[in-house]
Amino acid sequence: MSFSAMMVQMTQGFGQTVLIFVLTLLFSLPLGLLVAFCRMTKISPLRGIAKVFISILRGTPLMLQLIVVFFGPFYLFNIRITNSYRFVAIIIGFAVNYSAYFAEIYRSGIESIPVGQYEAANVLGYSKTQTFVHIIFPQMVKRVLPPVTNEVITLVKDTSLAFAIAYQEMFTTAKQIAAADASVVPLFVAGVFYFVFNFIVAQIMEKIEKKMNYYR
């Protein structure tokens, strides 16, 4: 295969990688906040469920979770699996997995806020919702940006795990071309794609972090 033809296929695969990345963040970031609230709630059963949820998702491989989400409906409920569900399973698997990591990051950020700020907000007549939205949340975002950035960069590389359920993203495409041409060049090209993408993501996150400096 010519280099130009390879690049066309790799670019198409990269488009799928970016799509997985964006949709995973779109769903996992807010879901992680919801799980964090459940983890910190005073309602014991809900707190226990959130703790078990986080423990299972952080304690088992993402690849295994993708396989369970994809094949689970068939083996548990005898539901026929379609090709269109393959992409849905990937987004569900990635979003749920990363929500567990984000939940613990959010929790650590929220719990790091001094109690005095809650007391001051109460004196000023703020409701619990107003206190969180206007005082706690902005500071929490500033504090958790570095660990969130690490998880986002990890997500870029983890998108390659979509090959576990035979989804055609960039790494899967690179492996197929490498096997067909008996060459490692496609794998090196994929590595360059990942590096450039990670570099861009890191720069974006760094700019966001600098804009949050006024919360010091």
Q: What is the three-class DSSP state of 79?
A: coil
Cβ burial of 73 (10 Å; 0-12, 13-18, 19+) is middle
Confidence class of residue 76 from pLDDT cuts 50, 70 and 90? confident
**Residue for token pair 């010091």:** 216
Task: Give all domains of the chain, ordered by start, each with its CATH number.
Answer: 3-215 (1.10.3720.10)
Q: Is the pLDDT of residue 215 over 70?
A: no
pLDDT at 190: 92
- DSSP code of residue 2: -
Structure tokens at 16: 């799928």
Confidence class of residue 121 from pLDDT cuts 50, 70 and 90? confident
**Residue for token pair 């960069």:** 153
**Residue for token pair 């700019």:** 207
**Residue for token pair 């613990």:** 104
Confidence class of residue 84 from pLDDT cuts 50, 70 and 90? confident
Query: Letter for the amino acid at 149?
Result: T
**161-211 tens-digit pLDDT:** 998 998 989 988 998 888 888 889 999 999 999 999 999 999 999 998 888
pLDDT at 31: 96
